[in-house]
Structure 1
Amino acid sequence: MIFDISFIVAVHMLTGSAVVLSGAMALLFTKGSSQHKVAGRLFVASMVLMGPVVAAGAWLSPGSISALGIFFVFFIVYLVVSGWSTIHRSEPGIGLLDIVAPVAAICIYIAGLMMGFSALGDEIGEDGLPLSRAYFFFSALAFLAMILDVHNIFIGGVRGKHRIIRHVWRLSCGLFFAVSSLFTGPGAIVFPESIRANPLLSAPQILVVLISIFWICRLSFTKQRVLSSEIEKETLKEDL
């Protein structure tokens, strides 16, 4: 069993590293480029793999991963998969994952509320704040995402730059949470104890936010015709 746990921990660390590195590359590369697509696929694949890895770790070693950690990972998986499903098709529209997305979001929302209320007054996180706040925060974000999922279905699928913005903000949000977990959250255990409290470890999180805002603003204020032309050119290069 010790070997199994050690193996799961190693896979967890490797998968987490792949999530952060591939996500960072996807965020930096030009949207629609072949490099962005390869990095994005690796990011989605490694993030999805993180779900069963965390579940296996929790099963093999009960208590080694907190309930909040499990909830946190599956919430990120939902964000990443729903964001990826928006853009991976050549034509906009509604697919199976788009229909499943609001169902998953409402389940996460309800689970977050239940876990948050159960944690009221008797559990404190490593930062000294009640764990219930974290549950309620992620639950509220899941509820907001669920509303957008329902709207996406109602209009038959977001189109144009709104489709790309939906893709960017969801994957960027997932990357932000993953980076936060690694540098200032539980994953910071990989760093020497002497630097874990260093404010510089917050820099990657800030960079993710700033770069994400840049891309969202660029997409929001770029004319649709110009934007579509740029993406078509990058797609054509990849096909050739």
Structure 2
Amino acid sequence: MRFPLLVLHILGGTIGLLGGTFAIAVRKGGRLHRASGNVFTIAMLTLASSGLCLAILKSQHGNIIGSIVTFYMITTAWLAGRRRKLDRYDWAALLVGLGGAAAVITLGVQTLHHPDKNAPAGMCFFFGVVLLLAASGDIRMLTRGGIAGRQRITRHLWRMCFGLFIATGSFFLGQQQVFPAFLRGSIFLTVLAVLPFPLMIYWLFRVRFSKAYKVQPPPTPIPATP
């Protein structure tokens, strides 16, 4: 049972890292970006689903948290990338975000009194804050009837990048035994693990100051001449 899940988990993670890196590198909004983004999404959802099953089987609370956060962030990012109207999936995502935040913060409080090496309190609170921020964005979107332009791209961008960070952090920091001994614990692996954050900041600035992402007002109708 565990071995097929482990193989699926490794394949999902490998394809996710490659697909996410390619999606960041190519021109945004183009065919290659959309294709690589879809591959990244499928791979990351596979990674999260298989990781959740493995974490439950091994009673690894930290990996359960990471899997739920990854699934939520990637799903809502992909939905934001599509030009679509709000539907029941957005309300379901909000419930997952709020429920996940409550569960993660509760686990963090518990680990303050009963330390768990698989789910340190600092990590729990960090993910809890991220989930609360994401859920607040869900609430704003739902109460406004949707988002467009820069807000939609920003929502898509930061959630995808955070999902990629979970993958890079889990691999370059959590699986250092697969690297040569001279690289283990090095700053090089740390830089690779946190690389999605500076890339995210770069693209957020591009979106913020580029006219291409502004919501264009509808054209003023020209009155018909008699």
Shared fold per TM-score greater than 0.5:
yes
1:220 and 2:212 are equivalent in the alignment: no
- Tell me the equivalent position of 1:184: 173
The separation in 1 between residues aligned to 2:54 and 2:5, in whole angstroms, is 6
8 Å contact kept, 1:23–1:39: yes
TM-superposition CA deviations, 1:62-103 (whole Å, max 9, x none): 34xx211111111011011011101223x4x31232221211
The secondary structure found in structure 2 opposite 1:31 is coil
1:86–1:98 Cα contact (<8 Å) kept: no
RMSD over aligned CA atoms reads 2.0
- 1:37 partner letter: R
Instruction: Give, in angstroms, the shift of residue 10 of structure 1.
Output: 2.0
Q: Quote how far apart the aligned CAs of 1:228 are.
A: 6.7
CA contact (8 A) 1:8 1:57 kept: yes
Q: 1:13 to 1:190 in 2, by over 3 A?
A: farther
Aligned partner of 1:84 in structure 2 is 78
Shift of the alpha carbon at 1:43?
0.9
Matching residue's letter, 1:82: T
C-alpha displacement of 1:172 = 0.6
Q: Are residues 1:62 and 2:44 paired?
A: no
Mapped to 1, the partners of 2:176 and 2:79 lie a distance apart of 31
Q: Given residue 210 of structure 1, which amino acid in structure 2 is its aligned partner?
A: P
- 8 A Cα contact 2:80 2:155, kept in partner: yes
Q: Where does residue 98 of structure 2 map in the other structure?
A: 106
Q: Distance in 2 between matches of 1:131 and 1:96?
A: 34
Whether the 8 Å CA contact 2:86–2:145 is kept in 1: the answer is: yes
- Asked if the contact 1:27–1:212 (Cα under 8 Å) also holds between the matched residues in 2, the reply is no
What is aligned with 1:210?
198
Q: In 2, are the aligned partners of 1:106 and 1:143 still within 8 Å (CA)?
A: yes
Number of aligned residue pairs: give it.
215
* Greater relative CO (CA pairs within 8 A, separation 6+): 1
Using the alignment, how far apart are the partners of 1:38 and 1:12 within structure 2? 21
Q: Using the alignment, how far apart are the partners of 2:55 and 2:105 within structure 1? A: 21
Match of 1:73 in 2: 67
1:18 aligns with 2:15: yes
- 1:204, CA displacement in angstroms? 1.8
**How far apart are the structure 1 equivalents of 2:104 and 2:77?**
21
3-state DSSP of counterpart to 2:73? helix
Aligned to 1:117: 109
Measure how far apart 1:195 and its partner are: 2.0
Structure 2, unpaired ranges of 5+ = 216-226
Q: Aligned letter for 2:141?
A: N
Change (3 A) 1:124 1:55: closer
Please list every run of 5 or more consecutive structure 1 residues that lacks an aligned counterpart in the other structure: 230-240
Does the aligned pair in 1 maintain the 2:9–2:46 contact within 8 Å? no
